[in-house]
Amino acid sequence: MKFPYRPEDENHVKWKLVLCDDPLRHWPQSLQCLLAALLTLLPFAAHSQWPTLWGTHSPLLLWMLPVIVSGYLGGLLPGLVATLLGAWLAGEANPAMSQSAGALLTFIGGGLTVSVLSQRSLSALRLRARVEGKLMAFAQLIDSTDDSVVASRDGALVTHWNRGAEQLFGYSADEMIGQSAEILVPKWLVAHELSVLARVRKGEHVPAYETQRIHKAGHLVDISTTVSTILDRQGWPIGISRISRDITHKKRAEQEKAEVEAKFRALVEQAITGVYIVQDRQVIYANQAFADIFGYGSPQEALEQVPIKLVAPQDRQRVVRNVLRRLRGDTDSLRYHFNALRRDGSPFIVEVHGRRFMHDNRPAIIGSLIDITESQRHQAEMARQVAEKTALLRQREQELHTILDNMPALISYYDTDLRHRFGNQGYCDWYGIDSTQLAGLPLAELLPAGQLARVLPRIRQALSGETQIFEYRIDRPGSGESWQAQIHLIPDLEGEQVHGLFALILDFTPIRNAEAALRESEGRFRQLFEAAPVGISLYHSDGQCIMANQALAELAGASREQLLKQNFRHVQTWRDSGLLTVALRTLESGLPQRYELQMVSSFGKRMEVECEFTLPVVQGVRYLMLLAKDITPYRQAAYLMKQAMDAELEKSRLDLQYRQVVENMVDGFFAIDSRGQLLETNDVFVKLCGYEPETLLGMSAADLELDASAEDIAARIHRIVHKGNERFECRMRRKNGTHWPAEISASCVGGSGDRIYAFVRDITERKRNEDEIRRLAFYDSLTKLPNRQLLIDRLQQALETCKRSRRHGALLFIDLDNFKLLNDTLGHDMGDRLLVMVAKRLKACVRGKDTVARLGGDEFVILLEELDERRERAATQIRAVAGMIMEALGQPYPLAQLEYHNTPSIGIAMFNDQENTSVEEQLKHADLAMYQAKAAGRNTLCFFDPVTQAELETRSTLEGELRNALRRDHLVLYYQPQIDRNGSIIGAEALVRWLHPERGLIPPAQFIGLAEECGLVHQLGLRVLEIACGQLAIWRECPTMSRITMAVNVSARQFRHREFVPQIRDLLTRFAIDPARLKLELTESLLLHDMDEAAAKMGTLRAMGVKFSLDDFGTGYSSLSYLKTLPLEQLKIDRSFVRDILTDPNDAAIVRAIINMGHSLGLKVVAEGVETDDQWHFLLREGCDIGQGYLFSPPVPKGDFERDRAHQPAWTPA
């Protein structure tokens, strides 16, 4: 229904404005009469000029014209003047007429009548002009107001439009005056506006009301408007006035206030903290958490109780006193706890926090309370644990003090002000001070000023965070004792903050004395070396000379500097005389060599010498030493000198060894003779073996070593004598019969073999750690089978072995069927027991040289090696093993009073010397074959297929490209129209397409399944919803598209995502779209997974305004119960039924039943896949509401869809 509007009304108004004009209203009466006389003379002059043209009575008619004009322009007086003058002139012009009294009287009477009527009309027009002037002033006043003032003729044609209306609605006065007011009214408000106009026309008073209008820009404006009738002076209605005010900000503020109040109420109602309001000593409000805390079913039930009964008797007076204090205003806020009683009478403790406020102009308390019973219990338990931990800490502290007091070092701790905080007993004894007096004592009061000044720079460096280690001589006060001490100053750091300083003072006097003795021994050795009558030189194994004495220089006829520059490997005389060969033989064999020769040195001196090469080892480095002497009577003297030098070296070494090493070392030590008999031991070795020292000295090395015979010991002694040293590991016996692993480093000094020294270390803990590391690194902790790391190592070896032996090998990838179900039903401990039994059965099915490994979960891998060279025979062997495995794993498992049955799926990948595959590729092939076995129905085996591998690689590539497509926004939506029974486009289904940069447009069938498998379907679905909602927001501004409904498919995984509902709410808010324009299409299988959860989510979304359509109806497990329960709006008939609707009576009957059932449940029915006119006509006859398919349009881009919609007739509600 539209407002009445006649185009001719506009012309009528314009014409009346012209007629109402009064051109002579400002002329005086004399001039108006003069103008009337002049107009009357014009006909007389015309008659005089052409007398024959006029008849007898024609002059009367001619002179009546000036009378009419004069009366209209001037009114009564000018009309009378024109009448009388016209009668006289007519008589003069026509004498016959002057004799006709009747004609003259008729003329005069007509003139008088015209004059009187003209006077009345002119008076009315002048009155109207004055009124219009006042109206003009009033209109200017109206234009100055901010409110919209609009006047219209009968509520439709706009006659007045002020500036306030221009600002409110966006139209100028020129655009709206003369236009229909209907363009401002939304279609859904037309009926209401017409009813308001009808009431106003009847004279009813219509109070101001709130409504909406359409702005010129297309958006809606909220207004408050007053409608009244415009009356003329006689009280007749001549128009409708509307005074409107913009209340958009008010509505927005009210909406925001309502949202805030709703959020606050939801927060309070859903809070886990009890919230209450007390007024007049009564609880007038409580939330559900309050009722739950006190054990009541609802807040109302809790409010019905007497409040004081909620408090335990012993605390009631205190609680009442606290309530009254706040109600009286003694304090605004108070927090305390008291003992309370639940509904069943059980006691508990609550903590309350209440604040005074004014409610209905009366004081009240709003507060919160929580149950702190468990918290109090936890605090008591925590206090008990703290007490226990404190006692334990004190015990540990005492133990630590005991350990520190017994350490052979001076240990102390200072704060940053260099005040003592701790000192062990040795520290206190050294400085002669009681430990109770040490705490807080400044370091300056304990150390002499000179000592403190020398160490103070080091202390400052340590306090800056740098550890200081230095040597310093300290004197013991009151005695002559002093130490050459090594001092460690260690900062106590927390982050970068230094809180104090640890000081550790070690006595290095024995070590420094030993070093001095060593230097003295080295001095004696050098004196002997220089004074020896034989030539001595020492060489690196590469031939470079590093030492040569003066005797050798004299023997060779050269200087020592010349000898030190030589490398015997490059000296020609060594090569010519055979000396080089002897030297190299010594280095290769490790045995001393003697050689006599006559030669001319490289410096030209002829010599006859006896040369001896030996291989001394110094600090683990082997050198070549040359002793050269003349074969003269002094040979014996030179030999004696060498023996004396060796004895001196041995004496120095033994002195240092026994004084420092043997007595203080942490490792065991023993010495044996060439027969293996023990000659010496230290205390550490005695403790390790458990024998008395005297007993050990009567034993041989073979008696102590567990796995060595006397022959083994003799062979080892021989090797040590010839090599100089040997390091090995063995197992040693204890006296009690146990054994322990040992690491032994043995050496023979001097090469005679008379005495061998050995250092022994107990490596029990290291072996245990190595075994544990190996077990953790290479074996599964549950089944004790090799893990993935060890499997990869063995598979790598198997691949290399296969290339050499040309034999086949195979990987069997085994996965237990339905293992997750066992974990979910019987628990993970039963699952672990099953895995252990499976591991044992698998090991029983293979050879000892084959590998059974567990990769994790329920996945096992068997590596078969050294199969037949022929592929067919190897495959037969593999099938036999796999058959044994399937039979063994198919036997029942005893688990917790029941027999559990399980089956495996086995994937097999063979390899041979012809295939150049890596370890990871081989594992991937077996894994893929296992999944093929799963797909074939489980409890079966399958060999690897390269074609399937290629498809998998293609699929993997496509998955990576799909992830990039989601990141780079390569997804687009196509839209397939939905047509109603009248043939109009009322909606569209959004269908996703992948716009690949290289492959072009990819249909959803090629990537939706992939997205499901790789976990991208939720991200993909969310992106589709974002694009769809964004498009709805754009169409909202387009008049032809604003009423379109968008249907979007939602996958099961996306719908079940816990963030699905908040994401839909966020999209609706972000794009500000009408929720009713968004329709989510769900499948039956999705709803049946968890009916309660699905119903809850759909109910929440339906409350927002979102609609739902049940897609592919009839293809799943259809149930009338959920159709009746769930908030659905549509059923969609699957295309499989529509395709054969004209040829298959069953499909026709199914479609007919779905339509009737949907209508009976109040649901609209949509048919998918409509491709022919006959199909659509059949569906229309059966009552189908909406059609979709290629008959109407394939899915098209948004531009094509918008163009198709623009050519459709405007949509109107049914």
Per-residue pLDDT of 52-71, as tens digits, reads 555 554 556 666 777 777 76
pLDDT of residue 5: 35
Let me know: does 1030 contact 1046? Beta carbons within 8 Å.
no
Let me know: does 747 contact 672? Beta carbons within 8 Å.
no
CA–CA distance, 832 with 837 (Å, rounded to integer): 9
Backbone angles phi, psi at 281, to 5 degrees: 60, 20
Q: Which of 823, 834, 842, 817 is nearest to 782 (CA)?
A: 834
pLDDT of residue 179: 85
Average the pLDDT over each of 291-300, 502-511, 783-792 and give the range with the smallest value.
502-511
Average the pLDDT over each of 134-143, 437-446, 632-641, 727-736 and give the range with the smallest value.
632-641
pLDDT of residue 952: 57
What residue type is 383 in one-letter code? A
The beta-strand segments (E) located in 362-453 are: 362-371, 410-415, 420-423
Let me know: does 1026 contact 1017? Beta carbons within 8 Å.
no
Average the pLDDT over each of 162-166, 550-554, 974-978 and give the range with the smallest value.
550-554
For 703-733, give one letter per residue: b (16+ CB within 10 A) or e: bbbeebeeeebbebbebbbbbbbbeeebebb
CA–CA distance, 628 with 539 (Å, rounded to integer): 14
pLDDT in tens, 21-44: 556 666 777 777 777 777 777 776
Average the pLDDT over each of 26-30, 184-188, 1117-1121, 1180-1184 and give the range with the smallest value.
1117-1121
**pLDDT surpassing 70 at residue 206:** yes
pLDDT of residue 16: 40
Q: Which of 515, 508, 468 is nearest to 489 (CA)?
A: 468
- Mean predicted confidence (pLDDT) in 117-142: 69
3 state DSSP class of 202: coil
Average the pLDDT over each of 254-258, 485-489, 916-920, 1130-1134 and give the range with the smallest value.
254-258
For 315-331, give one letter per residue: b (16+ CB within 10 A) or e: bbeebeebbeebbeeee
Q: How far is CA 619 from CA 616, 660, 725, 1166, in A?
A: 10, 17, 11, 95
Contacts of 1022 (CB under 8 A, 6+ apart): 1054, 1063
Model confidence band, residue 1198 (pLDDT cutoffs 50, 70, 90): very high
In the predicted model, what is the mean pLDDT of the chain? 82
Q: Which of 19, 62, 12, 24 is nearest to 42 (CA)?
A: 62
Domain 271-371 is in which class? alpha beta
- Mean predicted confidence (pLDDT) in 516-523: 69
SS (H, E, C) 1011-1047: HHHCCCHHHHHHHHHHHHHHHHHHHHCCCCCCCCEEE
**pLDDT surpassing 90 at residue 168:** no
SS (H, E, C) 7-41: HHHHHHHHHHHHHCCCCCCCCCHHHHHHHHHHHHH
CA–CA distance, 344 with 297 (Å, rounded to integer): 12
Q: Domain 800-944 belongs to what topology?
A: Alpha-Beta Plaits (3.30.70)
For the segment(s) 956-1206, the CATH number from 3.40.640.10, 3.30.479.30, 3.30.465.10, 3.20.20.450 is 3.20.20.450
Model confidence band, residue 1119 (pLDDT cutoffs 50, 70, 90): low
CA–CA distance, 1110 with 1165 (Å, rounded to integer): 10
Let me know: does 165 contact 221? Beta carbons within 8 Å.
no
**pLDDT surpassing 70 at residue 357:** yes
CA–CA distance, 1101 with 1081 (Å, rounded to integer): 13
Contacts of 588 (CB under 8 A, 6+ apart): none
Contacts of 396 (CB under 8 A, 6+ apart): none
The distance between the two most distant Cα atoms of the chain, rounded to a whole number of Å, is 207
For the segment(s) 408-507, the CATH number from 3.40.50.300, 3.10.620.30, 3.30.450.20, 2.40.128.260 is 3.30.450.20
Rg over alpha carbons for the chain, rounded to the nearest Å, is 58
Decide the pairing of beta strands 985-996 and 1000-1002: antiparallel
Q: Which of 437, 428, 509 is nearest to 473 (CA)?
A: 509
Let me know: does 582 contact 560? Beta carbons within 8 Å.
no
CA–CA distance, 932 with 570 (Å, rounded to integer): 71
CATH 3.30.450.20 correct for 145-253: yes
Q: Percentage of residues in the chain with pLDDT exceeding 90? A: 21
pLDDT of residue 1190: 94
Same CATH topology for 665-769 and 956-1206? no
Backbone angles phi, psi at 448, to 5 degrees: -60, 150
> Residue ranges per domain, the chain?
7-129, 145-253, 271-371, 408-507, 534-633, 665-769, 800-944, 956-1206
pLDDT of residue 284: 86
Architecture of domain 534-633: 2-Layer Sandwich (3.30)
Decide the pairing of beta strands 1045-1049 and 1078-1083: parallel
**pLDDT surpassing 80 at residue 968:** yes
- Mean predicted confidence (pLDDT) in 1005-1017: 83
Architecture of domain 665-769: 2-Layer Sandwich (3.30)
pLDDT of residue 1036: 92
